[in-house]
Amino acid sequence: MRALRRLIRLGVALLLLAAGAWYGIKFYYTSVHRIAETVRQDVYRQLAAEGSPFVPYDQIPVVFRQAVIATEDRSFDSNVGVDWRGVARALLVDALARRPLQGGSTITQQLVHNTLLAGQPKTIAWKIHETLDAIGLYDTMSKADTFALYVNDIYYGHGAYGLAAAAHVYFGRSPAALNAGELTMLAGLPNAPSVYDPLRNYELARQRQAAVIDNMVDAGYISEAQGKQILAEPIRLVR
């Protein structure tokens, strides 16, 4: 009985400690280091430097959203900015290799990586910093804003930063004017922009597009039949 009471007290203490840490992180990122504002301004500066417009979340085609989430971060809608299993795996791999080999896997972590930590050497301390910043961003920014900033900031190849620039460079149109086939092709480019650039490596870009569509089917966004229809849609590249 005494051992059970000790166990209960320990459990309560751990819960209180976890809650205190969580609210401490939130206070820091809302009152001391206003991470949401900093990230937003970083993305806006990048777009201004490139002369590219910002595409708001409600103007990002649904097919593109689904394609990116299915391919980059399937737990995006529910995670706290990090995938704990992914973080543990990355830290273990880095520790064994004594150097950073794996980066953050979630969309939120990638946004942090591309803004707050851009240009910094990747170390284990860097990875811990990235994880804490991703949690702070989750605490202070909506999922819609996080996703919009991410797709407006990443590099799509061929000199295109952000979704609007990529749609124009590859297809000569706005994202809203692209068909589902073209949108799924765009969604696959950031993984390796120079490799999958459809203006230079069309067949590889098509293979990557097919992989993105398979991810959408696997994630339950579309059926196999819908996936085949999307893959059959014309790809109207700028020539």
- Summarize pLDDT for 190-237 with one digit per residue, the tens: 999 999 999 999 999 999 999 999 999 999 999 999 999 999 999 999
Is residue 208 included in any domain, yes or no? yes
Say which CATH number the domain at 149 has: 1.10.3810.10
Please indicate, yes or no, if residue 28 is contained in any of the structural domains.
yes
pLDDT range class, residue 138, cuts 50, 70, 90: very high
- Domain annotation covers residue 6: no
Q: How far is CA 75 from CA 10, 54, 69, 88, in A?
A: 31, 25, 8, 16
141 has pLDDT over 80: yes
Structure tokens at 173: 């149109």
* Domain assignment present for 127: yes
Determine the pLDDT at residue 124.
80
173 in a structural domain: yes
Q: Do the domain assignments include residue 131?
A: yes
For residues 170 and 160, the answer to whether their CB atoms sit within 8 Å is: yes
| CA 133/CA 76 separation, integer angstroms | 16
Per-position DSSP letters for 20-41, written without gaps between them: HHHHHHHHIIIIIS-HHHHHHH
Distance CA 196, CA 213 (A): 15
209 is a domain residue: yes
pLDDT in the model for residue 101: 46
**pLDDT, averaged across the chain:** 87
Q: Does residue 89 surpass a pLDDT of 70?
A: no
Entry pTM: 0.84
Total of domains in the chain:
1
Residue span of the structural domain in which 136 resides: 24-232
Residue 2 lies in a domain: no
Cα 216 versus chain centre, distance:
16
